[in-house]
Structure 1
Amino acid sequence: MRAFPARVDAVIIQAVIAGALSFSHLHDLAEAAGQGGWKAWAYPVSVDLLLVAAWRRMREQQRAGLPAGGPRLWFLVALAASLGANIATAGLLDLDHVPALLRVVVAGWPAVAFFGGTLLAHTPRTSDGADRSASTGSEVGESMPLVPTPAIVEPTVSGRAEPDPIPVLEPAADLGPAPVPASTVHLPPALVDRAQALARELHSRTGEPADPDTVRARLGLPASMTPAVAAHL
């Protein structure tokens, strides 16, 4: 059998070294905080798994165009725990006399990690959302009535569509005799006398012939009656 040459990837080597160092720092801090035995080894696994799970879920949500606030929050929490352990074991903290607050944080980490992992596990995945949207779209399509397609105008031999026929205007029906012009309307004698009296009054006041429209307005007649009033002045 032909042996394939082994490829050495510098990125993988760097990731393994960084992971081993971070794992060791988390273990040392947990052991110094009173979590001995197998519990001290479980803390690095819990922090790193939450970090990786939150990162993967955040990338999935971002690629699907969905909000990734929840996964991003838990990624930052796990990153803070890992980075804090690395800094605490750099000689800035006396591991023989760990502060009480740090002991409380380390002891409460399992509950925080369990809560974050549960929320990440129950976050709807992209494939589930796509299947749900596809099924919803098919149901909507089945429930919607079919819309008839508009009729297509067939082109003629010359390649142009036939124009719509021009409607022929027919003569209007005979509606009877035309209305009588207002000038031929005869006013009652009493109204004629009243109009003439108003005309004389206006003439004596202004010194000019009375305006038929003014007389018509004084009598309270419509505007169409102005020619009839003028014919009797």
Structure 2
Amino acid sequence: MILFCLPYAGGSEAIYYKWKKYLNPSIELSPIELKGRGKRYNEIFYETIDEAVEDILKNIKDRIIDNDYAIYGHSMGSLLAYELYYKIKKQKLRKPIHIFFSGYKAPNIIRKKENIYTLPDYDFIKKVIELGGTPEELSNNKELLDIFIPIIRNDFKILENYNYEKKEDKIECDVSILNGKQDSINLEEILAWKKHVGKGFKVYSFEGDHFFINNNVKNINSIINSTLIEYIDNQYAN
């Protein structure tokens, strides 16, 4: 069983490294590195969400042919996971057995477009922090900011220019929704995910803001383990 993990805006695959300590050995942790950061720092940024999804699929395609797998996405990663599912389905590839959507409103919920990504650096970072889009301690580290701003600015660009299109079919695998109790995303926006799901649907709430995944690693991985191991056990039983 492979668990593909997609990062939040400005994040790299490294945000998931600590999960290896808590995941069941039967689950292979496979964080996805996006262009323009981490080990792909020198690659050109994506222009659209669709371009990012195409790149992700290209990188996992060979591995999902013969393997059961699940997808976890946080914030921007949830939107990528949502569109990735339908890209996989369109190409008639093996679909995930479970998707974990974390820290993101249902994709049909449209908020007022602000074009935050066009703001000058200082105003941009200030606004991103206000929205819970990045840890506040980054604002005091100029060296990190010089690296970080172009990455998160581009992530915000593709997010803010994303246009939701209603899908013909609902998601055909079980889904878990994870959210922080103190996040700005409200319960109505979280529960709206149910409209997109055709099978099992569970919601888990954690203490914390938008970055609740950083302070709840053990509990989140406990949910992932119990969810995926149950599927593995059922496969062996059959």
Q: Same fold (TM over 0.5)?
A: no
TM-score, scaled relative to structure 1: 0.21
Greater relative CO (CA pairs within 8 A, separation 6+): 2
Query: Rg bigger for which structure?
Result: 1
TM-score, scaled relative to structure 2: 0.21
Q: Which has the higher helix share?
A: 1
